[in-house]
Chains A and B, each alone.
Chain A
Amino acid sequence: MTVHVSPPDAALDPAPLLSIARVSRFYGERIGCADVSFELWPGEVLGIVGESGSGKSTLLRCLAGIDRPDAGEVLFRGSGQPLDIYSVAEQERRRLMRTAWGIVHQNPRDGLRMDVSAGGNVGERLMDRGDRHYGQIRERALDWLARVEIAGERMDDRPRQFSGGMQQRLQIARVLVSEPKLVFMDEPTGGLDVSVQARLLDLLRVLVRDLGLAAIIVTHDLAVARLLTDRLMVMKDGHVVEQGLTDQVLDDPHHAYTQLLTSAVLSV
């Protein structure tokens, strides 16, 4: 099913940032995700929900340039013409992954260098792009640590000395420092205490709004989806079974599976 949704500021930015067409990925015989198509507009926040094993992470990895899909295309529109991120050279794809978008992993260990200081973690993308002024790199890292509410005095500590919530916030700073247009997040609040989750969600909401970021957020938590996303995609067995504006999908679900999902939450 296809729901056409007008972008928030279509007049300003008349082209989608991402255009996904019939993306599929298989693990042998098993379906990871199948035949997924959608568009993401600049500044838009899309949620992907679904039960465990429904293909959320698989899809996100295809979109973020980590795993090549077996079929379909992922078009990214940076400053110029849209690029099929899997037909450009690997060098170009790696450059895009370091500059044009960022990934916040569910497990901070996958997104951070655990034996590099917090400041070094945040500064890496700046050094990747060729920044060579130590004082300026440090200043920007410090600024970003403050924006994710990590005290400056922790700057030279390593992430393994941080709490789970701090590690997630550090991941976010590490990604956002290069001012990407797009962020992918896989269960950014997973595994955190409820109060820590709430603080992180608040922070994400503010950052996304202030920076005009587009984001794709995978979550199995419908409350998180409600709070952060403009639009929602519901997955089951690797397929998208329903998509639309978040409030519509949650308040008036059409697909039986979505009805089950939302009622399961309500009954808690």
Chain B
Amino acid sequence: MNAHPTLDTDDTRPAYNYAYLDEQTKRMIRRALLKAVAIPGYQVPFGSREMPLARGWGTGGIQVTAAIIGPADTLKVIDQGADDTTNAVSIRRFFERTADARTTEATGEATIIQTRHRIPEAPLSAGQIMVYQVPQPEPLRKLEPHEAETRKMHAWAEYGLMQVKLYENIARFGEVTTTYDYPVMVNGRYVMAPSPIPKFDNPKMHMSPALQLFGAGREKRIYALPPHTSVRSLDFDDHPFRIQSWSQPCGLCGASDSYLDEVITDDKGGRMFVCSDSHHCETRREAGHRGEMLGDAAALHLVEEIKP
């Protein structure tokens, strides 16, 4: 990609339209989005387009973002919870180039947050839009391989089999062992795959004031959670859903209520737990929060020591 996008229609036509997709495709995606918002948790088929990124890189999420982004938007892109991974950087750059988008790492400043793997720790607010990249939109697929059959199961809310899967887990391991893409019941009606976010993030979807959109490029499906929608993780009355917890707080910022990643610090088995939401962790450190390992980490140049 070397042409810079422009809305000018003077003498040279731009190599591609604003935000890459042509207007007709955007309208098609927006229609699918409107339907998805009207039926929370229902998977709407859409005519997924080829994007100049390999599939599996979140082409579904990118198409959704391309269809809704405008010049006034500020975009944040998260991959593995971080803003600085290759994937996040290339998606951000894509929209900077094709949509003249302002970008940010600050959750509170973003109007659109495209994500893979995480929901930010900072609470979302009304007016913000989450865009999830979804590899497998069908929560029943592993249980029922036939599309015609899963469609009927959703149409008539035949979700007993999903519960059997949870039953099997508890019978074998004493608890439900699913930790990512943990299935949820939306608005008391549709079972939905929340995309590969940790189950830690599931409660953040419940009654969120933000609009949440899900795009699956390869599987050609879009679904949505309008603001203030009930989102319940499936469970049993006597085995209630529980999020992950850690025995120690974040080594860098001391947070005890965020999702932690294990980080290897040296080749002698040294390790520490740190916030997976890198922006959240930095914000806390800037505000003066210090974890027990912050000094060590700074000495190892894993982080810059922030002088409060």
Of B74-82, B235-243, B264-272, B288-296, the one touching chain A: B235-243
**A27 at the binding interface (Cβ < 8 Å):** no
Any B CB within 8 A of the CB of A44? no
In the assembled complex, the Cα of A144 lies from the Cα of B236 at a distance in Å of 21
Which of the residues A91, A95, A98, A120 comes within 8 Å of B164, measured between beta carbons?
A: A120
Please name all residues of chain A whose beta carbon is closer than 8 Å to the beta carbon of B158 when the two chains form the complex: 94, 128
Nearest chain A CB to B59's CB is how many angstroms away?
A: 33
Q: Could you tell me if A135 and B160 are in contact, using CB atoms closer than 8 angstroms?
A: no
- Alpha-carbon distance between A133 and B237 when the two chains are bound, in angstroms: 5
A53 to B62, CA, bound (A): 57
Chain A window 83-94, contacts with chain B (Cβ cutoff 8 Å), 1 for yes, 0 for no = 000000011001
A90 CA to B153 CA in the complex, in Å?
12
Q: Tell me if B155 is interfacial: C-beta within 8 Å of chain A.
A: yes
Interface of B is mostly: helix
By beta carbon, the residue of chain B nearest A92 is: B156
Given contacts A124-B161, A133-B238, A134-B239, contact A94 B167 (CB under 8 A): no
CB of A127 within 8 A of CB of B160, answer: yes
Interchain CB contact under 8 A, B171 and A127: no
Closest CB in chain B relative to A124 CB, distance in Å: 5
DSSP class of A's interface residues: helix, strand, loop or mixed? Answer: helix
Complex interface: chain A residues within 8 A of B167 (CB): 119-120, 123, 127, 134, 137
1/0 per residue, CB under 8 A from A, across B141-176: the answer is 000000000001001101011011001101110000
A116 within 8 A of B: yes
Q: Judging by beta carbons under 8 Å apart, are A134 and B170 in contact? A: yes
Instruction: Determine if A156 and B163 form an interchain contact, defined as CB atoms under 8 angstroms apart.
Output: no
Instruction: Determine if A135 and B168 form an interchain contact, defined as CB atoms under 8 angstroms apart.
Output: no
State whether the Cβ of A129 lies closer than 8 Å to any Cβ in chain B: yes
In the complex, chain A residues whose CB is within 8 Å of the CB of B160: 98, 124-125, 127-129
CB pair B238 A120 closer than 8 Å = no
Distance of A109 from chain B, by nearest CB (Å): 16
Of all chain A residues, which has the CB nearest B155? A91
Interfacial chain B residues near A133, Cβ < 8 Å: 236-238
- Give the chain A neighbours of B237 by CB distance below 8 A: 132-134
Q: Is A107 an interface residue (CB 8 A)?
A: no
Q: How distant is the Cα of A188 from the Cα of B269 in the complex, in angstroms?
A: 60
How many angstroms from the CA of A124 to the CA of B161 in the assembled complex? 7
Partner of B236, one of A94, A116, A132, A155: A132
A37 to B241, CA, bound (A): 52
Contact-size category for A: 20 to 34
Tell me if B171 and A132 are in contact (CB < 8 A).
Answer: no
How many Å lie between the Cα of A124 and that of B168 in the bound state? 11
Q: CA of A94 to CA of B155 in the docked complex: distance in angstroms? A: 12
Tell which of B164, B168, B172 has the most Cβ of chain A within 10 Å: B164
Asked if A262 CB lies within 8 Å of chain B CBs, one says no
Closest beta carbon of chain B to A78's beta carbon, Å:
18
The interface residues of chain A lying within 8 Å CB-to-CB of B155 are 91
Binary contact track A155-166/B, C-beta < 8 Å → 1, others 0: 110000000000
A119-B171, A156-B171 known; A124-B164 Cβ under 8 A: yes
Counting CB contacts under 8 A, is A117 at the interface? Answer: yes
Shortest distance between the CB of B168 and any CB in chain A (Å): 5
List the A side residues contacting B152 at CB < 8 Å.
Answer: 90, 94
* Complex contact A127–B164 (CB within 8 A): yes
- Are A117 and B170 closer than 8 Å at their CB atoms? no
Known: A133-B237, A135-B238. A156 touches B172 (CB 8 A): yes
Residues from chain A with Cβ under 8 Å of B235 in the complex: 132
Nearest residue, chain B, Cβ from A129? B160
Which residues from 277 to 299 on chain B have a C-beta closer than 8 Å to any C-beta of chain A?
none
8 Å CB contacts to A: which residues of B53-95? Answer: none
Give Cα A94 to B153, complex, Å: 10
Known A91-B156, A132-B163: A120·B168 in contact at CB below 8 Å: yes
Q: How far is the CB of A187 from chain B (nearest CB, A)?
A: 26
Assess whether A120 is in contact with B236, with CB atoms less than 8 Å apart: no
Once the chains are docked, how many angstroms separate the CA of A155 from the CA of B168?
A: 11
Are B156's CB and A94's CB within 8 A?
yes
> In the complex, A171→B263 CA distance in Å?
49
Distance in Å: Cβ of A173 to nearest Cβ of chain B: 15
Q: Is B238 a contact partner of A123 (Cβ separation < 8 A)?
A: no
CB-defined contacts of B172 to chain A, threshold 8 Å: 117, 156
A110 to chain B, nearest CB (A): 15
Cα A116 to Cα B155 in complex, Å, equals 24
Interface residues of B (CB under 8 A from A): 152, 155-156, 158, 160-161, 163-164, 167-168, 170-172, 235-239
The 8 closest A-B pairs by CB, nearest first: A128-B160, A134-B236, A127-B163, A127-B160, A91-B156, A133-B237, A135-B238, A120-B168
A-B contact pairs, 20 of them (CB 8 A): A91-B155, A91-B156, A94-B158, A95-B156, A117-B172, A119-B171, A120-B164, A123-B164, A123-B167, A124-B160, A127-B160, A127-B161, A127-B163, A128-B161, A129-B160, A132-B163, A132-B236, A133-B238, A137-B167, A156-B171
Given contact pairs A119-B167, A127-B163, A134-B239, a sample of 16 additional A-B residue pairs in the complex whose CB atoms are under 8 Å apart: A91-B156, A94-B152, A94-B158, A98-B160, A113-B164, A116-B168, A117-B172, A120-B167, A123-B164, A123-B167, A124-B164, A133-B236, A134-B236, A134-B237, A137-B167, A156-B171
